[in-house]
Structure 1
């Protein structure tokens, strides 16, 4: 027998052996996977880095249907391909420096593991058709515990083909000096970018294995990848390209989202196209009114009802008020205008100040559209409904100093 024939026969034997091994491993995996997977829950408060390791390892362990010694064999045969839909601070619905750090540390941990091998791909539309899994994750601030600054990490792995959550893990972490500054898109946003789609993402990150991921969110995963690309371009100050991507997203099925409308508005402002920016802000307002809730970041000078003195911040406010008044009057809605403050000063003082600011907003709206004087009422919540609660009075807790417009039945 020639050397060439021996070589071909050897290669064929290796291929057949690999195929047989893969079939045996897959069969054994199916036999061992009869028990339902349970989520991994860590209730011990750890450092941020330690909590990420616990949550990530817990997630991976649920995907391993084989004992450890066989998982090594399986990982050499096949990798699990995954895209990560960018993780968020769940209470503020923002991407922050802390959520970016969470993503990066998870990716590093997955890359360092020898078992349960994952191949992470960018969250782009063309990758969604190629990957098996989608990874979601949230950071939740644990407020209301004096002297403690805790966070809960929640991760969920979703099988894209079935829409089922296959693994879920959570861990408690200490907030030891983490940077919660929002990314540029969220810092510049005039409103709280939180709608039913974003809420569906957060619900998915909490969903136990074996259950379906939130349907509203999953139906919009494809367009979410386009929205993500648009946001990356905005944060890189590539505004013409970002605008085009947001417009592309809006034209797709499920693309009419608060993030999309917000991105279009922000890019028009950055490009100096102010007439189009005003029309785009009107669409944001109309979306919020249809959802019965709109949170706008009106900032005031400390302890006053005067808008922030810096025109770079408060310059658009008259236009915002004009559009809120116009859209509210046209929709003939009734609203409660709710003032909020950050967690500085006294509780009694902040309750009074937030009510004064809500009353001022009511007067400004009524000046633009007189019927709103009879269709609005006011309330002041002080700091009781803080979304961030840091009391830093900077970009981190800007959402705590918002004015909220709650649509309610007319009486």
Structure 2
């Protein structure tokens, strides 16, 4: 009887061990593991694109390699984003180009289309992706969403080296006065990391059609075609999903570029009101290094007085109480950053109270140093401008 028990245990152990090896092997064929060392960026893009499309496999109708077929599977590629900031950057554009180029050469049964409204009815799948900074490198995360039922058909991620990746924001994101990471952008980030078989983020999918119009408008803005961009932002605003910070921000930026000062101030007021109503207003006030003085270049800071006036006006009319929270980039010792971020928040509070005295009893200043960086590059330039922001958080009055 003792021998039988030992034999049974030994057989059971071998089965478990074989199952574990099989599981590891199958997973390794599908998705690069998080312990993988970072690869050169273009190689990492090829690796993760392979993993994503092979993982979907024949059962999903995606037949990799081989001769071209008359009925291709169509994928619409939503432009990838920096997961921390929600921005499009030179690096995310490079990722987009790499995905499309690798799929075109190696997956003949797949046609990858741009994120346009006219392409959505043709597509079976949506590809959502992000770049995220980690200690070891840049994490590329890609998800393929079946548009019939909103299920993630495949997901893959891998690490890329950071040394040759330009994460400078594109013009729209660079010029934006506020953090644009709303619930739609957060939904894209969650979807890019969702496991196979899970549902894609419902808010993200519900706003996809409007997202194509916003993307068109952003492209026009980045190309300096401000009048055409403004028409597209207004078109997006008129859609059912158009009540978004990205749309309001686009109207502000384009009217400002077109010299329509009154319209621009009204648009920024709506940006501030939206942010306060959604407890999500992070504003990029740039300061001279180590000081509470605004950045010396008037081209950067000329609108700050108007921003403060509108934030004070919207904060006053909303009758809410706010914590004014200063942040800094990670350059320098943490204790210095803590003190500096607090002094900058106090300076912003002082300016707001000068605009609206009623805010004196409904605001308080806090400093968070560099503990909540969105970019974390420590470059102290346009790349990590969002790390040097001031946020306005709704709090209980009297707290």
Question: If the length of structure 1 is used for normalisation, what is the TM-score?
Answer: 0.86
Matches of residues 347-366 of structure 1 in structure 2 within 5 Å? 347-366=334-353
Could you tell me which of 88, 111, 122 is aligned with 1:119? 111
The CA distance in 1 between the partners of 2:64 and 2:309, in whole Å, is 62
1:194 counterpart (177, 181, 200): 181
Change (3 A) 1:66 1:358: closer
Residues 67 and 215 from structure 1, CA distance in 2 versus in 1: closer, same or farther, beyond 3 angstroms? closer
Pair 1:42 & 2:33 matched = yes
> How much does 1:308 deviate?
1.2
- 1:276 offset after TM fit, Å? 0.4
Is residue 119 of structure 2 the alignment partner of residue 132 of structure 1? no
Task: Tell me the C-alpha RMSD between the 2 structures.
Answer: 2.0
| Structure 1 residues 382 and 75: CA distance shift in structure 2, 3 A | same
State the Cα deviation string for residues 36-65 of structure 1 (Å, max 9, x = none).
Answer: 9x9624321222222212211111112222
Counterpart Cα distance in 2 of 1:213 and 1:232: 25
Contact 2:53 2:64 in 1 (8 A): no
Find the counterpart in structure 2 of residue 206 from structure 1: 193
Deviations 1:322-357 (A, max 9, x none): 000000010011111111111222221111111111
1:10 is aligned to none
Alignment-derived partner of residue 78 in structure 1: 71
Give 1:104's match in structure 2, choosing from 74, 79, 97: 97
Change (3 A) 1:322 1:66: closer
Gaps of 5+ in 1: 1-34
SS in 2 for 1:247: helix
Q: Which moved more, 1:58-67 or 1:371-380?
A: 58-67
Aligned length: 369
Name whichever of 212-221 and 158-167 sits farther off: 158-167
| Residue 304 of structure 2, aligned match among 317, 325, 329 | 317
- Give the aligned partner of residue 93 of structure 1: 86
When structure 1 is superposed on structure 2, of 38-47 and 300-309 the one drifting more is 38-47
CA–CA distance in structure 2, aligned partners of residues 343 and 67 of structure 1: 45
Unaligned runs of 5+ in 2: 1-25
- 1:54 corresponds to which of 43, 47, 59: 47
State the 1:177 CA deviation.
Answer: 2.6
Specify the SS of the correspondent of 1:76. Answer: coil
Seen in structure 2, the aligned counterparts of structure 1 residues 66 and 158 have a Cα distance that, compared at 3 Å, is closer
Superposed displacement of residue 82, structure 1: 1.2
Asked if the contact 2:30/2:54 (under 8 Å) is kept, the reply is: no
Q: Structure 2: how far apart are the matches of 1:367 and 1:78?
A: 65
SS class of match (1:253): coil
Q: Provide the C-alpha distance between the structure 2 equivalents of 1:407 and 1:67, rounded to a whole number of angstroms.
A: 46
Q: 1:200 to 1:241 in 2, by over 3 A?
A: same
Residues 114, 244 of structure 1: CA spacing in aligned structure 2 closer, same or farther, 3 A cutoff? closer
Separation in structure 1 between the aligned mates of residue 296 and residue 57 of structure 2, nearest angstrom = 57
Equivalent residue runs for 1:363-374 within 5 Å: 363-374=350-361
1:84-118 Cα offsets, whole Å, 9 max, x none, are 11100000100000000111111111011156x21
Does the C-alpha gap of structure 1 residues 309 and 295 become closer, same or farther in structure 2, counting only changes over 3 Å? same
Deviation at 1:365, TM superposition (A): 0.6
| 1:42 counterpart SS class | coil
Residue matched to 1:4: none
